[in-house]
Amino acid sequence: AQSVSQHNHHVILSEAASLELGCNYSYGGTVNLFWYVQYPGQHLQLLLKYFSGDPLVKGIKGFEAEFIKSKFSFNLRKPSVQWSDTAEYFCAVIADYKLSFGAGTTVTVRA
């Protein structure tokens, strides 16, 4: 069975700081990987996805993620965060139609 591990539970940073959230997965098959974001009071939204091809994928709002197969990782990055990036971020892997999520990382951006 697949599983996802997110390294940080809560990250606090200032505006304009760089963000990197770690994600490792465990799955033996071909992976499809996702990052979802949940802004306060809103529903889960897809930030970006990796299915195949270029391991560096770009998503919405300036986010990007890098798939490193040898490390079973799919880390999320943003060079310069804004206050509006305050949210909970979830890494997920899909197999057999089931999305398996990590526990999530709460990101708080201070103005």
Partner 1 sequence: DAGVTQSPTHLIKTRGQQVTLRCSPISGHKSVSWYQQVLGQGPQFIFQYYEKEERGRGNFPDRFSARQFPNYSSELNVNALLLGDSALYLCASTPPGTWNEQYFGPGTRLTVT
Which residues of this chain interact with partner 1, rule CB under 8 A? 4, 32, 36, 42-46, 49, 51, 90, 92, 94, 96-104
| Closer of 45 and 82 to partner 1 (Cβ) | 45
Least separation in angstroms between residue 15's CB and partner 1 is: 26
Sign of the Cα torsion 18, 43, 61, 33 reads positive
- Residue 34 β-bridge partners: 49, 92
Least separation in angstroms between residue 80's CB and partner 1 is: 26
| Closer of 51 and 83 to partner 1 (Cβ) | 51
| Closer of 17 and 88 to partner 1 (Cβ) | 88
Least separation in angstroms between residue 108's CB and partner 1 is: 15
Burial of 73-105, coded b for 16+ CB within 10 Å and e otherwise, reads bbbbebeebeeebbbbbbbbbbbeeeebebebb
